Copies of this chain bind each other. A is one copy, B any other.
Amino acid sequence: MTKIDVVVREVGMRDGLQSIKFIMPTDKKLEWARRETEAGVTEIEVASFVPPKLLPQMADAAEVVRGALEIPGLTVSALVPNLKGAERAVEQGAHKLNCVMSVSEKHNQANVRRSVQESIDEFGRIVGFVRGLPSNRRPQMCAGLATSFGCTIEGDVPEAHVLTVVEKVAALGVDEMAIADTVGYGNPAQVRRIFSGARKIAGKLPIAAHFHDTRGLGLANVVAALDAGVTAFDASLGGFGGCPYAPGASGNVDMEDLVFMLESMGLKTGVDLARLLEVRKFIESVLPTDTFAGAVAVAGLPKNYRSAASRAAA
């Protein structure tokens, strides 16, 4: 098997679908996951364990996780907002819990009615819960730090504050961290500073990057994060998942463009780009929305496109 240089993780099934009104049928979600896994994506955030009342798009979270676990080779992750969500996800056997809090005090209060410190404490309880499980039922616990590059309510989020939260959360003994530009405020200089700082603090703890392309800087921020040593990135097929309050605004970094960039740079993702573009066509056929983003799907692959693996072999 080819060594992977950079892991790309699909989050559109959660971050994308939760931002549109349309509720994707469970079987289509699972077909999406299966097809994208076959294209070479090895980790998908398939659902969110928030109350279905708040997010009807995620009401089938349990069923989706169970179905996704049947897909060979796929790491099945799920977003959990708190201990209760973590318990529900573990009940279904999710491989990884993506626990999320906002680093911005006001954003966290608005979202989960907790202070940042209270959310860190909740993370601690989730770590305790996970560690208490028998090893064959124990998922990975990834701590997601939302609004780390700015906040629609507070504006600036001081970098020193972000790094303090990184330090506290790393000390809890999580398995992984994801630092997120939830609202598309980040810029490459800031990305380089924050990820360099975080990696220094967190030592060997893997740190992933989650960027939104809201202001067109998604891939530019990926370049900066690569420079800072980041090797795992979230993205969504078709780049959808824009803010519902900004019509036409793009969402997560577009998966096809991300894979195109990384593979062209000689960084192996394990993803077959031609097959990935077919999977995009599949979700375009399912989703009743014209808000797909992404340039490669529109412009086509360059005449000289080669995967990183075939570049290395040449």
Interface of A toward B, CB cutoff 8 Å = 150-156, 183-185, 187-190, 213-217, 219-220, 222-224, 227, 243, 246, 248-250, 254, 257, 260-261, 264-266, 294-296, 298-300, 302-304
Contact = CB atoms under 8 A, between A and B. Distances in A.
A150 to B, nearest CB: 6
B303 A215 contact: no
Contacts of A154: 303
Contact of A264 (B187, B223, B260, B300): B187
Contacts of A187: 261, 264-265
B295 A185 contact: no
Contacts of A294: 216
A192 B280 CA distance: 30
Contacts of A257: 215-217
Given A187-B261, A187-B265, A215 B302 contact: yes
A108 B190 CA distance: 41
A214 B303 contact: no
A220 B185 contact: no
